[in-house]
Structure 1
Amino acid sequence: MPGIIGKKIGMTSVFGADGVNIACTVIEAGPCVVTQVKNEETDGYRAVQLAFGEKKEKHTPKAAIGHFKKANTTPKKDIVEFRDFSTEFDGMVELGKEIRIQDVFVEGDFIDAVGTSKGKGFQGVVKRHNFAGVGGQTHGQHNRLRAPGSMGNASFASRVPKGKRLAGRMGTDRVTITNLKVVKIMPEQNLIVISGSLPGPKNSTVILQK
């Protein structure tokens, strides 16, 4: 399988073989159910659709309920499509099959993690873009410590150019962290321990892929 869906549990630390303490993130990955298999003949591209997390049937649209019944499974919370997987996974992507973490990764693999970063609300330029502010408090700059400074030319073009880094909404962005090492896999608890930090708060959905 090219990847799996999981839920962020939290962070911990483990000691490596050289005795160095490594900060790690714990993910509850799977079990996921194959809810659809796409191929080039009918859909124009190869893809496998996985579903993860239980959801009440009364909160699920009728069309989605029928979609899950085709895979002989209960309604799920998250659905993710993995495109253009290699032919070596053809035997693993049967409709309705359950995919577990040990079917996808082994300890020592380097993977990518995709998640939604924490929302920070409306923030200024110092927090949002790491601006340093206008300067010290001398020469009349007593109230300009976190100001954005000059924003554009005066006579031409008499406007703020598009793309200028200014204050605004921060966070809730789709973030991909690459080359994270799988430190440990606990198949009995469906847990995977990954070195480093992952985007998003606790209990948020994370996509792990090769």
Structure 2
Amino acid sequence: MSGIIGKKIGMTSVFGADGRNVACTVIQAGPCVITQVKNEEKDGYKAVQLAYGERKEKNTPKALKGHFKKANTTPKMNVVEFRNFREEFEGQVELGSEIKVDEVFKEGDFVDAIGTSKGKGFQGVVKRHNFGGVGQATHGQHNRMRAPGSIGGASYPARVFKGMRMAGRMGNDRVKVINLEVLKVVPEKNLIVVSGSIPGAKNSIVVLEK
């Protein structure tokens, strides 16, 4: 598995080869710096740690300062580990070297996008679980149109079963969207355009995997 870290710029649309207008997302991916290389002899598995985004030195812990100094780079904001980095990178994976978007992805590839979905706070069952609400109300209960109804708690089982669909915090979760097609790569601006939407708000961090 190989990949890169990036920042979600926003959504737009492009015309495909068949003339269809395709919704897509623009991501500023990299350049990322290799800050650690793990191997089977020392760590028990092969992996490459990439870092992305500048970080103020005064806000960086001393341990991380030393970690980045070893890679001969400035402190970074985001660090992600990729296991089993692609075989063609075998001679190029060196501490401190840069990985650019056009070295990992090309047009026509299919990628997985990982991000943190937008947080929506504490929500009720109509918004969170698509309960019926007003249009499907039954029994004429006054002021109960958006209520969850019975949750099954009686003398048996005398508790609420795990997984019961109830009100609660919605969003702000790690979400992975798979098999998005790479429509365009702009290496001079470190941009990659993928089909469809990806989780997260604008300027949020996104991890792309192959």
What TM-score does the superposition give when structure 1 sets the normalisation length? 0.95
How much has 1:144 moved relative to structure 2? 1.9
Query: Share of identical aligned residues, percent?
Result: 74
1:42-99 CA distance string (max 9 Å, x none): 0011100000011111111111111111111111010000013343321121111100
The residue correspondences of 1:1-210 to structure 2 (distance < 5 A) are 2-133=2-133, 136=136, 139-210=139-210
**SS across alignment from 1:69:** helix
Whole-Å separation in 1 of the counterparts to 2:136 and 2:66: 64
How much has 1:134 moved relative to structure 2? 7.5
How much has 1:131 moved relative to structure 2? 1.4
Greater CA deviation, 185-194 or 145-154?
A: 145-154
Aligned length: 210
- The residue type equivalent to 1:35 in the other structure is T
Q: Structure 2: which 5+ runs fail to align?
A: none
- The residue type equivalent to 2:159 in the other structure is R
8 Å Cα contact 1:55-1:75 kept in structure 2:
yes
8 Å Cα contact 1:134-1:149 kept in structure 2:
no
Greater CA deviation, 142-151 or 50-59?
A: 142-151
**SS across alignment from 2:50:** strand
1:72-130 CA distance string (max 9 Å, x none): 11110100000133433211211111000000000010000000000000000111111
What TM-score does the superposition give when structure 2 sets the normalisation length? 0.95
Whole-Å separation in 2 of the counterparts to 1:192 and 1:84: 22
How much has 1:14 moved relative to structure 2? 0.4
How much has 1:135 moved relative to structure 2? 6.1
**SS across alignment from 1:22:** strand
Whole-Å separation in 2 of the counterparts to 1:57 and 1:101: 26
